[in-house]
Amino acid sequence: MSGLFGRLSPARRVINGDDLPLFYNDQRCQRDTARVSVTLAELLMSMEDEQNDRSRALDDAVASNFWSSVSSYSVRSSSPFVLSFKDLTYSVKIQKKFKPFSCCGNSHFDGNDMEMNTKVLLNGISGEAREGEMMAVLGASGSGKSTLIDALANRIAKESLHGAITLNGEVLESRLHKVISAYVMQDDLLFPMLTVEETLMFSAEFRLPHSLSKKKKKARVQALIDQLGLRNAAKTVIGDEGHRGVSGGERRRVSIGIDIIHDPIILFLDEPTSGLDSTSAYMVVKVLQRIAQSGSIVIMSIHQPSYRILGLVDKLIFLSRGNTVYSGSPTHLPRFFSEFGHPIPENENKTEFALDLILELEGSPEGTKTLVEYHKQWRAKQTSSQSRRNTNVSLKDAINASISRGKLVSGAANLKSSFQTFANPFWTEMVVIGKRSILNSRRQPELFGIRLGAVLVTGIILATIFWKLDNSPRGIQERLGFFAFAMSTTFYTCAEAIPVFLQERYIFMRETAYNAYRRSSYVLAHTIISIPALIILSASFAATTFWAVGLAGGSESFLFFFLTILAAFWAGSSFVTFLSGVVSHVMIGFTVVVAILAYFLLFSGFFISRDRIPLYWIWFHYLSLVKYPYEGVLQNEFEDPTKCFVRGIQMFDNSPLGQVPAAVKISLLKSMSGVLGINVTAETCVTTGIDILKQQGITEISKWNCLWITVAWGFFFRVLFYFTLLIGSKNKRR
């Protein structure tokens, strides 16, 4: 029995020169039955049994596991999944090029140069893909390969795509489609500072149900690492242009792994071998073959497969400008083109010959019309001469049978009763997203360090320039300038949030496209984990400037000053985060942020008081994010009615009389007292803090209300950010 377990365990075996992990059943069983394979979940059961009990119970579990794999084949053979698509048609409108001088050289100009052309990307594509098989879509650039994959993967809006896509004869609903399928994009969208094992583990925590223990998830990740041939790279970071990491082939296999962690029934891939050398490409496709043999439908687009890769594929679809020119088994290619009148030379790569011939026909006047028509006739003959293998099992029964043998782990707890949209509850998603973001930040401490350094340098510069301001009329103007610059600086230092989401945008879109987590979980998790950093930045800036500048009020005023700085950082980061969800380019984002923040400062009330702002611009004054923290700290500084800022003899400081002797000033005060009927001496208080607030037009909102409004702005922009993600990340063609 131990020998049997050795054959069931994941092992590296060299097949056709490829060192890849394979999951084998007993050799005799493989000779007697076709494509009997143990799924990842079945392997996981064996691993857990081995860890929990290494005695006789282990042998019983392994024997049960072995016979369950044989019975799973009987289930699969009687009720396989069949993904059928018929007459898929998709077209887009393209605007004609505008020719401004066409009327000068063409007497038939009728003003229709701006009309829309319709380009057909898919033209009546039909076919089917079965469980255990791997289908490849081939064609030259622009033939419609990626479009067909997107259509089958539910990445084209229903109102734009015509035709029928069914699974086991039933229309595949969008919600169910996301649960039972996965889509691997052409680009490897991964976090560069996470290791291979960490990347797959986070994917497991997203896609596997909360009811599955941490131990089982880890065991599943380890089994998947072996299946993907990533054991030697498990502890290596993914890497990017600035950090050395895994190879291109390993990176591609990690991209596949994060989407198959839940063992989906259908797997779509957009050119998984793009940019890889022949050996790496073969290894990737070999992994896909293992996935198909475990009971999945694998459909991929591929540009130009090698001879070895062609031997792994079960079905081919050749496209030319949105039309099918061949569909069927690779073994039928020679006979098809031979009967068409273009036999494939014996020693030539079949797919290369077919692609070259298609490209040659596309350049001819008639195009590939003759080949398309011949293919329709040839397929009609093939269909009539072969009995169609139809499944009579309902889709729900087939899914339940698949779950019972270990497939579709993310829904195994719930799919039998109802199809759950997400594998985990809301709070679990938030915890996992938060853990991943914190880990990424810890691996790149220089990012926060630079921002903290910028805040500290700014605070030190302000502290030294505005050192110990006095309560003279000149001191009043300097305090106003300090507050205006300090409040605007807090917003400008938040601009670093723009590249943060822009770097994660496509990772976020990939993960949410197939319900790895909720968009609301992403927004709330990133909101919560950003707060500690904002507290550190606010405390650093407040401590650096408050005492050095000599602001009034003591510890209570310092606390309010700190809270206002924190609220300004919060509102600024929320505003910039919202803009990063709207714009799609870093430089555009920085330009927009800098411009809008400049307008906020202009209308804040520092350069021109509220009473002097024209009525047609007053609305912008109330929308200014700088207005509320600026007015709050001014009230915090000047709210004491007993504190005097301008005395009698200081009235002349900001006038031409400021340079005259003090005796002359006192004489002038006596003359003014006689005229006004009020005794104005050199020490008489002329202007208090309340008077300064009135001069600045700050009389409507209390300082605490200014603080709450600033905080509310932050929440408002976070909500807008959520709706931006909800509307702008559908990731579907129109």
8, pLDDT greater than 60: no
490's torsion region: left (phi>0), alpha (psi -120 to 50) or beta?
Answer: alpha
Round to whole Å and give the CA distance between 2 and 60: 11
397-417 confidence digits (pLDDT tens): 778 777 776 666 654 444 444
Strands 297-301 and 134-138: parallel
> Residue 525: what pLDDT?
95
Which is more confidently placed, 670 or 639? 639
649-659 confidence digits (pLDDT tens): 777 777 777 77
Burial (Cβ within 10 Å: 0-12, 13-18, ≥19) of residue 47: middle
Round to whole Å and give the CA distance between 289 and 291: 5
Q: Is the pTM of this model over 0.95?
A: no
52, pLDDT greater than 50: no
Tokens, residue 500: 């943060």
Give the pLDDT mean for 201-209: 90
Binned at pLDDT 50, 70 and 90, residue 520 comes out as very high
Strand partners, 319: 324
> Residue 66: what pLDDT?
31
Q: How far is CA 158 from CA 124, 269, 324, in A?
A: 16, 20, 22
> Residue 314: what pLDDT?
92
List all residues 6 or more positions away from 190 whose beta carbon is below 8 Å from its beta carbon. Answer: 199, 238, 251, 254, 255, 258, 507
Q: How far is CA 467 from CA 464, 478, 552, 559, in A?
A: 5, 10, 13, 20
> Residue 408: what pLDDT?
66
> Residue 523: what pLDDT?
94
Binned at pLDDT 50, 70 and 90, residue 384 comes out as low
30, pLDDT greater than 60: no
Give the pLDDT mean for 578-607: 87
Binned at pLDDT 50, 70 and 90, residue 504 comes out as confident
Tokens, residue 666: 């006192």
371's torsion region: left (phi>0), alpha (psi -120 to 50) or beta?
Answer: alpha
115, pLDDT greater than 50: yes
Binned at pLDDT 50, 70 and 90, residue 63 comes out as very low
Give the pLDDT mean for 298-312: 89
Give the pLDDT mean for 217-232: 90
List all residues 6 or more positions away from 652 whose beta carbon is below 8 Å from its beta carbon. Answer: 658, 660, 665, 668
661, pLDDT greater than 90: no
433, pLDDT greater than 90: yes
Q: What one-character-per-residue DSSP string does 2-25 give?
A: HHHHHHHS-EEEEETTEEEEE---
Round to whole Å and give the CA distance between 106 and 686: 81
> Residue 731: what pLDDT?
63
User: If DSSP codes are grouped into helix, strand and coil, which group holds residue 70?
Assistant: helix
> Residue 71: what pLDDT?
35
What type of residue sits at position 556?
E
Burial (Cβ within 10 Å: 0-12, 13-18, ≥19) of residue 56: exposed
Burial (Cβ within 10 Å: 0-12, 13-18, ≥19) of residue 685: middle
Tokens 């600045």 locate to: 696
State the maximum Cα–Cα separation within the chain, in Å, rounded to a whole number: 121
How much of the chain exceeds pLDDT 70, in percent?
82
Give the pLDDT mean for 92-107: 57
Contact 68, 404 (CB under 8 A): no
569, pLDDT greater than 50: yes
Give the pLDDT mean for 254-276: 88
Tokens, residue 177: 């489609």
626's torsion region: left (phi>0), alpha (psi -120 to 50) or beta?
Answer: alpha
Q: How far is CA 603 from CA 40, 115, 613, 621, in A?
A: 62, 44, 8, 5
Round to whole Å and give the CA distance between 325 and 429: 45
Residue 270 sits at φ, ψ, to 5 deg, of -100, 100
**Helix-, strand-, coil-residue percentages of the chain, each rounded to 5:** 60, 15, 30
Binned at pLDDT 50, 70 and 90, residue 97 comes out as low
129-155 confidence digits (pLDDT tens): 998 899 999 988 888 899 999 999 888
109, pLDDT greater than 70: no
Give the pLDDT mean for 702-718: 95
Strands 323-328 and 315-320: antiparallel
Give the pLDDT mean for 470-489: 88
Most confident of 90-104, 422-436, 584-598, 658-672: 422-436
List all residues 6 or more positions away from 94 whose beta carbon is below 8 Å from its beta carbon. Answer: 116, 117, 118, 119
Binned at pLDDT 50, 70 and 90, residue 699 comes out as confident
Contact 493, 454 (CB under 8 A): yes
**CA nearest to 558, candidates 629, 636, 480:** 636
Q: Of the given ranges (35-39, 478-482, 528-532), which has the lowest mean pLDDT?
A: 35-39
Contact 261, 220 (CB under 8 A): yes
Binned at pLDDT 50, 70 and 90, residue 388 comes out as low
Most confident of 113-117, 503-507, 575-579, 709-713: 709-713
278, pLDDT greater than 80: yes
What mean pLDDT, rounded, does the chain reach?
80
374, 379, 382, 383 alpha-carbon torsion, rounded to 10° = -150
447-458 confidence digits (pLDDT tens): 889 889 999 999
Q: How far is CA 594 from CA 24, 127, 417, in A?
A: 60, 53, 53
CATH 3.40.50.300 fits 82-92+116-377, yes or no: yes
Residue intervals in the chain for CATH 3.40.50.300: 82-92+116-377
Round to whole Å and give the CA distance between 448 and 496: 10
Return the H-helix or E-strand segment holding 686.
strand 685-688
720, pLDDT greater than 90: yes
Tokens 């520092």 locate to: 606
